[in-house]
């Protein structure tokens, strides 16, 4: 076995990586806690039949690190974490037992990590864990939870898009602007509704015929094929389906001036920074743009419980955060995604320094003589 867990944790800055193995209920899980300086590590639970352990480990470590930056930039008092369960996402027999066991594991971590729905898991799974653990979030609204995060994610994408327009065109008026939306699922459909209200010209694609019909019937959008979406003369490209759609095969085809969407990991990797910059495209980093979901889910842990006004205010602030990232990107002469990570780390560092200073003052107060002369 050549899985260098500690080396990887050191490279990425993880605090803790925990493995859970309960073969009697089919539970093989990894929880990665990246950073808890700002608060408990919140991040979804992914259920997937990984090809091997290294692949699962790589996924959970990468995703948990991303959650740290997403929550930090969203101004949440939450850290970053993620979990992966290595099993068939379609499993039904024994599913309940497996999630109850995982809930026990969460209790074992005593709130350092809070889980939520993610790829392969559902609100039903969250509700099972919730039976015995308060460290599973994103549950039904009629049970006091935050409900579907998608409308908040879409609202955040919309706010980021307005900020990008303000920056690029000096106006956040979307009237007549051509926006291409890739994927009209939970997030994409809500986004299309807002774009329609704002008077944008909308083109969409999806692999799901029913979703396309709904978008066309309700909002009169222009429907194109999943391949043709890259060749449109849209000013704004909004990926809201799958990751890595901005890649060497598509970048030369995209004519947009702004990339701003809800999908995670929109760029193939950092090799896309140069072609995006050369084409003078305004790139809004995905984890800044799509933070509405984590804001809503995280809102369940506020004192007094989930509160729509608080969540909405935080989501609306994605407008300011996007502007700040784009401005700083210009000032620091670095790609927006790089700057967004820098800003997220700076907030964590400031919190760490504040905490250290409080500790120092407290220890000065409790000792008779203090080297600082206090």
Ligand X SMILES: NC(=O)c1ccc[n+]([C@@H]2O[C@H](COP(=O)([O-])OP(=O)(O)OC[C@H]3O[C@@H](n4cnc5c(N)ncnc54)[C@H](O)[C@@H]3O)[C@@H](O)[C@H]2O)c1
Q: How far is the CB of 331 from ligand X (least distance, A)?
A: 28
Q: How far is the CB of 350 from ligand X (least distance, A)?
A: 26
Query: How does strand 178-182 pair with strand 113-114?
Result: unpaired
Q: How far is the CB of 173 from ligand X (least distance, A)?
A: 26
Q: How far is the CB of 169 from ligand X (least distance, A)?
A: 25
Name, in order, each residue with C-beta under 8 angstroms of 126's C-beta and a sequence gap of 6 or more: 115, 116, 117, 136, 137, 138, 139
Interface with ligand X, residue 206, by CB under 6 A: yes
User: Using CA atoms, how far apart are residues 130 and 113, in angstroms rounded to an integer?
Assistant: 14
Among 72, 290, 321, 329, interactor with ligand X by CB under 6 A: 290
Among 44, 145, 293, 336, interactor with ligand X by CB under 6 A: 293
Q: Tell me, residue by residue from 103 to 142, as one string, x for binding to ligand X by CB under 6 A and - for no binding.
A: ----------------------------------------
Q: How many Å is the maximal CA-CA distance in the chain? A: 76
Among 5, 25, 127, 211, interactor with ligand X by CB under 6 A: 211
Q: Tell me, residue by residue from 135 to 174, as one string, x for binding to ligand X by CB under 6 A and - for no binding.
A: --------------xx--x---------------------
Q: Under a CB-based contact definition with an 8 Å cutoff, are residues 206 and 185 in contact?
A: yes
The smaller minimum CB distance to ligand X, of residues 44 and 336, is found at 44
User: Using CA atoms, how far apart are residues 67 and 230, in angstroms rounded to an integer?
Assistant: 29
Q: Looking at 70, 82, 101, 314, which residue is catalytic?
A: 82
Among 187, 198, 315, 339, interactor with ligand X by CB under 6 A: 187
Q: Under a CB-based contact definition with an 8 Å cutoff, are residues 294 and 76 in contact?
A: yes
Which residue has tokens 């222009």?
A: 222
| Adjacent-strand bridge partners of 203 | 180, 222
Q: Please indicate whether residue 82 is annotated as part of the active site.
A: yes
At residue 23, φ and ψ (nearest 5 deg) are -60, -30
Two tokens, residue 237:
């490209």
Which residue has tokens 């000792």?
A: 367
Among 55, 207, 361, 367, interactor with ligand X by CB under 6 A: 207
User: Of residues 251-270, which lie at the interface with ligand X (CB under 6 A)?
Assistant: 262-264
Q: Which of 98, 65, 139 is nearest to 306 (CA)?
A: 139
Choices 128-136, 170-178, 240-248, 312-320; region in contact with ligand X by CB under 6 A: 240-248
DSSP letters spanning 275-291: HHHHTT-EE--HHHHTT
Interface with ligand X, residue 34, by CB under 6 A: no
The smaller minimum CB distance to ligand X, of residues 146 and 329, is found at 146
Q: Under a CB-based contact definition with an 8 Å cutoff, are residues 85 and 47 in contact?
A: yes
Catalytic residues: 82
Q: Which residues sit at the interface with ligand X, rule CB under 6 A? A: 149-150, 153, 182-188, 205-208, 211, 226, 240-242, 262-264, 290, 293
């Amino acid at each position: 076995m050549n899985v260098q867990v500690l080396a990887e944790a050191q490279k990425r800055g993880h605090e803790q990586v925990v493995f859970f193995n309960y073969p009697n209920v089919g539970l093989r899980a990894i929880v990665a806690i990246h950073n808890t300086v700002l608060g408990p590590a919140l991040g979804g639970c992914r259920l997937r039949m990984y090809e091997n352990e290294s692949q699962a480990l790589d996924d959970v470590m990468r995703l948990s690190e991303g959650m740290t930056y997403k929550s930090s930039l969203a101004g949440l008092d939450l850290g970053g974490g993620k979990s992966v369960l290595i099993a068939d996402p379609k499993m039904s027999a024994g599913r309940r037992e497996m999630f109850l066991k995982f809930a026990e594991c969460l209790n074992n971590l005593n709130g350092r990590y809070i889980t939520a729905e993610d790829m392969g898991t559902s609100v039903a799974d969250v509700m099972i864990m919730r039976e015995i653990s308060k460290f599973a979030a994103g549950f039904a609204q009629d049970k006091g939870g935050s409900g579907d995060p998608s409308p908040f994610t879409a609202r955040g994408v919309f706010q980021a898009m307005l900020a990008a327009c303000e920056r690029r065109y000096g106006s956040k008026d979307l009237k007549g602007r051509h926006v291409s939306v890739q994927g009209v699922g939970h997030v994409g459909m809500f986004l299309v509704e807002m774009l329609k209200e704002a008077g944008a010209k909308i083109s969409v694609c999806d692999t799901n015929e029913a979703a396309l019909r709904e978008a066309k019937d309700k909002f009169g959008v222009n429907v194109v094929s999943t391949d043709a979406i890259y060749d449109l003369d849209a000013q704004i490209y909004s990926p809201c389906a799958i990751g890595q759609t901005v890649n060497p095969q598509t970048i030369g085809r995209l004519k947009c001036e702004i990339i701003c969407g809800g999908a995670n990991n929109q760029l193939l990797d950092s090799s896309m920074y140069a072609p995006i910059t050369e084409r003078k495209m305004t790139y809004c980093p995905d984890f800044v743009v799509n933070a509405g979901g984590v804001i809503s889910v995280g809102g369940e842990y506020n004192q007094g419980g989930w509160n729509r006004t608080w969540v909405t205010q935080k989501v609306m602030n994605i407008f300011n955060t996007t502007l700040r990232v784009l401005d700083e990107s210009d000032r620091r002469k670095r790609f927006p995604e790089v700057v967004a990570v820098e800003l997220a780390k700076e907030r964590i560092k400031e919190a760490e320094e504040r905490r250290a200073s409080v500790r120092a003052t407290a220890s000065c107060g409790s000792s008779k003589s203090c080297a600082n002369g206090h």
